[in-house]
Chain A
Amino acid sequence: MLVSQQHASCFIPVTVILTVMLTLMGCSPENTHYQQPNGIIYCSEGNPASFNPQLDTSGTTVDVSSHQIYDRLLDFDLITGEIIPGLASSWITSTDGLTYTFQLRKNIVFHSTSYFAPTRTFDADDVIFSFNRWRDKNHPYHEVSGGRYPYINSVGLGDLISDIKRINRYRVEITLVRPESSFLANLATDFSIILSAEYADQLAKADTPELIDTHPIGTGPFKFNSFRQDRYVRFDAHPLYWRERSTTEQLIFDITPSSSLRLAKLMTGECDSMAFPTHSQLDIIRKRKELTLDEKPGLNVGFWAFNTAKAPFDNPEVRRALAMAIDKNALMEAIYFGSAIPATSIIPPSSWAFQPDTRSSTYNPLGAAKLLRENGVEEGFSMTIWAMPVERAYNPNAMKMAELMQRYLRDVGIDANIVSYEWSTFRARLNQGLHDSVLIGWSADNGDPDNFFRPLLTCSAIDSGTNRARWCSKEYDKLIDQALTYTNQEDRAYFYSKAIEMINDEMPLMPIAHAFRYQAYRDNLTGIEINPYGGIQFRNVSKP
């Protein structure tokens, strides 16, 4: 009696709910592509520290800003590596190598946003402003946003340029203090961007000069829309961009620090491309039909740097001993999964300065322990290994590498503690020299070997923050400077080989690996190319 009639009255609400649910779920289950507005979402790995790459060398800042918001005087051709015209349509070098004259393009329009409307096109004033900002310590904008220009200072561009002259509205002349063959390459890096002098004037009058780096204006293919910390950066297309570009109307950087989440979003289509696939993810990406993986050998090096300003790491024998305690080949498999080659020096094999027969440290734990004891490092000595929290091509998982190294160090009686912070906090503290040793690396900004030797180990690079070993050797600096006075590759290579020998003797850092560079994206994306010399470019990228 109770059973039959209750049946009906109870099942009605249930069926109603089921139908509602099915309608809510949309149409057929195969419907994964639904109408979306025109735009590209890129899963990036962290927050940019600023929107001006002059102020920061971090790959995150460069990726977001350099090729999206800005242009440079010169650019690198992505395939050949040659220097091609950018905002400068042509240039002439004087015979003594001291004077460069650049002819600037006409009719290039700056961004028009809610906070700025340009009244004139790009001209020499913008070039002069962009250079003098970092060159001239008394420039009103020099100290704005910190006054540190790490890349530029680490290559010594400020001291290299003696004068910049405006010849006419579209002609600029730059004079150097001495001839330097890497000068043009430095102008094509991600960091030599051109800002808007008119915008700078407007901000100075409103007494809000720091907005130039947080609400940027440039000539690049995308203009800044908004930034929400830890969430996203929004860009809109610049309709009056001077080069040809794709039809994409929006570009969004979806900030996702967790790499497995990035991969998940790439697989479901919530991101069209992702930053830094870890090596364990490469196989998955290759197997999936709708994803594509591009790879190119990279100009990078991952290393373990010792803080040579702190005892006992100021003793080269201690450093060599620590390097002997680690089995680099084991790290290759566990961290890089075979997508990197062990490094014998800081220069990768793809560079012309590479020396194939360099002897580097070999794995010898007994010898390491002996050397440590001889130099006063007893059992139970405790040191910190700072592991960077972000992935980079040169070190996809510094935390895991540090854990593995902990084991090796324990075998020689050293107690290692792993230290890490959020990325910008991490770099800020590294700059203060609080570390004993750090797992970090370097990606080249141009094809010139000077771009490895100078920013990593010269004395002036300590202040700019790229010399993590805080190593200062006058002989080394001399070798590097001398190499620049010659234009012949063989002559330069001689000095660089001497520098490599010195690094291996003194071991301020232990080079670990040179990695391949990868780009993972969904099949329907076209126009995306790996940039071996710097940040990602979305100018030509589009989705049908």
Chain B
Amino acid sequence: MPRLNLYQEEYYPSPIQNTWKEFKENHAALLSLYCVIFFIFLMIFGPFLAPYDPLQQNIDLLLVPPAWDNNGDISYLFGTDGLGRDMLSRIIYGCRMTFGISLVLVIISMLVGVALGAMAGMSKGLRSSVVNHLLDSIMAIPTLLIAIIIIAIVGTGLVNSMWAISLALIPQFIHQTRDIVRQKMKKEYVLAAQLDGAGKIHIFFNSILPNMAEMLVVQVTLALSVAILDISALGFLNLGAQAPSPELGALLSEGLTTAYVAPWNIALPGAAIFFMMMSINLVGDGLRSALRYRLLR
């Protein structure tokens, strides 16, 4: 006899599914998520999408306006710059560089920062408050300042600026991780695991890390937007990526020389940075709100 199922099985969504449901309600955040995915797509497939070589100079076609202008040309959608290089390709490669480099930097800083923070959080009592306060003081200094100082010492260049920014981002991760780990260490399930005989590493990876994951994601989006801003700021100041690299900040700085004849050389790369940052910020905001409200609805 078929059993009548009068009640559907109760369905308890997992925390991640809750967060996602909440996130979806926020239209702006969802849209920005699609934008971020678009940028990631650009990052991976950029070289196939770009119509021209970003370093290819074309003497006959200097400072062509974008396609929507009267003097523009559809084959150069965003126009060309002062050396005849296609702006669309440069911006695509630039997004690729800026976004990709920032992603790599954030991942590196996250790995290092979380490792150090976990170690600091799990070891008990011996850490003197001096080191903690020192760390707090360093955290108060904006990352760009730390990066500029590091560059002042090691010299300019793209690789140096990458080191500088990733070093500057690490303290944030250490601090967050240490605080959270400290908190979680006091929880009962950690105590239970310890009583079971679990070693420190096991506790960290199995008990603490999964509970930290969401905080970490929020932290990563924050760090990502900071990293993008810093990389492009350093590129703009010619302390990071150098010409003729198509990094977005370097594009802006090159566009300065022809700013009055060709304002699109400034407007377009800057707009690209702006959209990148806005989408990441909105995703981060959405995540934070979702995390805060997921259990309230």
State the A residues within 8 Å of B (CB).
258-260, 263-264, 267, 280-281, 283-284, 330, 333-334, 400, 403-404, 407
Contacts and interface: CB of A to CB of B under 8 A. Distances in A.
Interface string B234-271: 00000000001000000000001111110000000000
B258 A260 contact: yes
B146 interface: no
Contacts, number: 36
B82 A330 contact: no
Contact of A280 (B60, B84, B256, B258): B258
Given A280-B82, A334-B62, A403 B57 contact: yes
B258 A403 contact: no
A260 B57 contact: no
Contact of B59 (A281, A284, A404): A404
A333 B61 CA distance: 11
List of 6 A-B pairs having minimum Cβ-Cβ separation, nearest first:
A334-B59, A260-B257, A330-B59, A284-B260, A260-B256, A260-B259
B257 A259 contact: yes
B227 to A, nearest CB: 28
Contacts of B59: 330, 333-334, 404
B104 interface: no
Nearest to B262: A280
Given A330-B59, A334-B62, A403 B257 contact: no
Contacts of A258: 256-257
B181 interface: no
A379 to B, nearest CB: 21
Nearest to B63: A280
A407 B53 CA distance: 14
A334 B259 CA distance: 17
Contacts of B261: 280-281, 283-284
14 contacts: A258-B256, A260-B256, A260-B260, A264-B259, A264-B260, A267-B260, A280-B82, A281-B261, A283-B261, A333-B60, A334-B59, A403-B244, A404-B57, A404-B59
Nearest to B258: A280
A275 B76 CA distance: 34
A403 B83 contact: yes
A398 to B, nearest CB: 14
Contacts of B84: 334
Nearest to A400: B83
A256 to B, nearest CB: 13
Contacts of B57: 403-404, 407
A334 B84 CA distance: 9
Contacts of A264: 259-260
Nearest to A337: B62
A313 to B, nearest CB: 26
Nearest to A407: B57
Contacts of A400: 82-83
Max chain B C-beta neighbours (<10 A), residue from A330, A334, A400, A403:
A334
A260 B257 CA distance: 5
Contacts of A333: 59-60
Nearest to A285: B260
A284 B84 CA distance: 19
A259 B258 CA distance: 10
B260 to A, nearest CB: 6
Contacts of A404: 57, 59
Given A258-B256, A334-B62, 19 more contacts: A259-B257, A260-B256, A260-B259, A263-B260, A264-B259, A267-B260, A280-B63, A280-B258, A280-B261, A281-B260, A281-B261, A284-B260, A333-B59, A333-B60, A334-B84, A400-B82, A400-B83, A403-B83, A407-B57
Interface string B180-193: 00000000000000
A395 B244 CA distance: 21
Interface in B56-92: 57, 59-60, 62-63, 82-84
A329 to B, nearest CB: 10
A400 B83 CA distance: 8
Nearest to B58: A334
B59 to A, nearest CB: 5
Contacts of A283: 261
Nearest to A330: B59
Nearest to A332: B59
A404 to B, nearest CB: 7
Contacts of B257: 258-260
Contacts of B62: 334
Interface in B171-223: none
Interface in B84-126: 84
A9 B158 CA distance: 51
A333 B59 CA distance: 8
A333 B84 CA distance: 12
Interface string B44-60: 00000000000001011
A411 to B, nearest CB: 13
Max chain A C-beta neighbours (<10 A), residue from B244, B260, B261:
B260
A300 B256 CA distance: 29
Contacts of B82: 280, 400
A37 to B, nearest CB: 28
A258 B63 CA distance: 19
Nearest to B259: A260
A333 B173 CA distance: 53
Contacts of B259: 260, 264
Nearest to A335: B59
A255 B84 CA distance: 30
Contacts of B256: 258, 260
Contacts of B244: 403
A400 B85 CA distance: 13
Contacts of A280: 63, 82, 258, 261
A335 to B, nearest CB: 10
A61 B233 CA distance: 34
A259 B256 CA distance: 10
A392 to B, nearest CB: 17
A267 B256 CA distance: 15
Contacts of B63: 280
Contacts of A407: 57
Nearest to A263: B260
A333 B83 CA distance: 11
Nearest to A259: B257
B288 to A, nearest CB: 26
A260 B260 CA distance: 8
B82 to A, nearest CB: 7
B83 to A, nearest CB: 7
B251 to A, nearest CB: 15
A334 B258 CA distance: 14
Nearest to B256: A260
A334 B59 CA distance: 6
B236 to A, nearest CB: 14
A497 to B, nearest CB: 34
A470 B259 CA distance: 39
Contacts of A260: 256-260
A334 B83 CA distance: 8
Nearest to B260: A284
A260 B261 CA distance: 10
A333 B62 CA distance: 10
A284 B260 CA distance: 8
Nearest to A260: B257
